[in-house]
Amino acid sequence: MSVTEAAGTRPRNETAPGAEPIIVVDNVSKSFGPLQVLHGVSLTIERGTMVAIVGRSGSGKSTLLRCMNALEEINGGTIQVCGNRVAMDDRASVKRLRSEVGMVFQSYNLFPHLTVLRNITLALTVVQKKSRADADAIAHKVLGLVGLADKAEAYPEQLSGGQAQRVAIARSLALSPKVLLFDEVTSALDPELTGEVLKVMEDLARDGMTMVLVTHEMAFARRLADIVVFMHQGKVWEAGPPAEIFADPKTPELRQFLSSGL
């Protein structure tokens, strides 16, 4: 498939998401002790777009994603999500952030002691104070969306990796977030299971969900992302539509990264 064809496979692009920023990362730096992993990263993510962050291990892409969700404290710069400045020590801002941003992890992180249904309804009943019946209805709906309607009573241990990851996506979706963050969600899966997870993500993208993914799935990023961000040495090295990024890399680092066959 050529790049131009690929770019056209996403119908919602035609309806133009418009320039409404939903995440604004401005000059963010982050260190772990003496090791600086983010060097003044700036990035704007617009509503209804899918942004794929790619790069080598250690390039800071996962850290950036975790900073966006206040899982890591930043040492400089600002991050705004839905107009709300993210600060880990500001409880109100974190609470608001949690209601707006969902996150899916590489290792699924389902709660092993709870059924699939309860994994999904926990926050609905405990945080959003919904009734058990309402929460169950939402859970069944999102399980249907990820194709796991029959797994409500299973425990995480009884699921395959792909199923577990789809439950994790459903758990985030149930809270109707405005943005979903995906941190290498297919890295622990074999190609077949990866396919079923990517399918769910593709459906979400087509429905207009704002998504930021850190990924090694280049073909997926090329086909579906609106913007591909290449990170290198803790900086945004190059960013742009996949057609440009993949067909015409401007820097030798990106060229080398793309040719490394990832």
Partner 1 sequence: MITFSSTHLIYLIEAARWTVLLSVLAFIGGGAFGLVLALGRVSQHKWLRWLSAAYIQIIQGTPLLVVLFLAYFGLSILGLDIPPIIAAGLSLTLYTSAFLGEIWRGCILSVPKTQWEASNCIGLSRMQQYRHVILPQAARIAIPPTVGFMVQIIKNTSITSIIGFVELARAGQIVNNSTFEPFITFVFVAIIYFAMCYPLSLASRHFERKLNVGN
Query: Contact 138/130 with Cβ under 8 angstroms?
Result: yes
Is 29 near partner 1 (CB under 8 A)? no
Residue 111: CB minimum distance to partner 1, A: 6
| Minimum distance, C-beta of residue 71 to partner 1, in the bound complex (Å) | 6
Least Cβ distance, residue 127 to partner 1 (angstroms): 4
Stretch 67-86 residues interacting with partner 1 (CB under 8 A): 69, 71
Helical H runs in 85-131? 91-100, 116-126
131 contacts: CB under 8 Å, gap ≥ 6 = 125
Q: Point out which span in 46-54, 120-128, 189-197, 244-252 binds partner 1 (CB under 8 A).
A: 120-128
Q: Is the CB of 36 or the CB of 115 nearer to partner 1?
A: 115
- Per-residue binding letters, 126-165, with partner 1 (x by CB under 8 A): xxx--------------------------xxxx-------
Whole-number Å distance between alpha carbons of 86 and 72: 11
With CB under 8 A as the contact rule, the residue among 81, 123, 213, 231 that binds partner 1 is: 123
Give the C-alpha separation, 195 to 133, whole Å: 33
Beta carbon of residue 30, minimum distance to partner 1 (angstroms, whole number): 17
Q: Quote the least distance from Cβ 68 to partner 1, whole Å.
A: 11
d(CA 166, CA 26): 32
Instruction: Write down how long the chain is.
Output: 262
Alpha helices in 113-154 (DSSP H): 116-126, 132-145
Site of tokens 């820097």: 251
Per the rule left: phi > 0, alpha: psi between -120 and 50, beta: everything else, 82 is left
The phi and psi torsions of 12 (rounded to 5 degrees) equal: -70, -15
Among 113, 132, 250, 255, binds partner 1 (CB under 8 A): 113
Minimum CB separation of residue 116 from partner 1 in Å reads 10
Mark the segment that binds partner 1 (CB under 8 A) among 34-42, 104-112, 192-200, 254-262. Answer: 104-112
Q: Which of residues 233-262 bind partner 1 (CB under 8 A)?
A: none
- The reply on whether position 172 binds partner 1 by CB under 8 A is yes
102 sits near partner 1 (criterion: CB under 8 A) = yes
Q: Which stretch binds partner 1 (CB under 8 A): 2-10, 122-130, 203-211, 243-251?
A: 122-130
105 near partner 1, rule: CB under 8 A:
yes
- State the virtual CA torsion across 10, 258, 106, 152 in degrees, nearest 10: 30
- Tell me the C-alpha distance between 189 and 3, whole Å: 26
Query: What are the residues whose beta carbons fall under 8 Å from the beta carbon of 251, sequence distance 6 or more?
Result: 232, 237, 238
171 binds partner 1 (CB under 8 A): yes
Q: Which residues bind partner 1 (CB under 8 A)?
A: 69, 71, 95, 98-99, 101-103, 105, 107, 109-115, 122-123, 126-128, 155-158, 171-172, 175
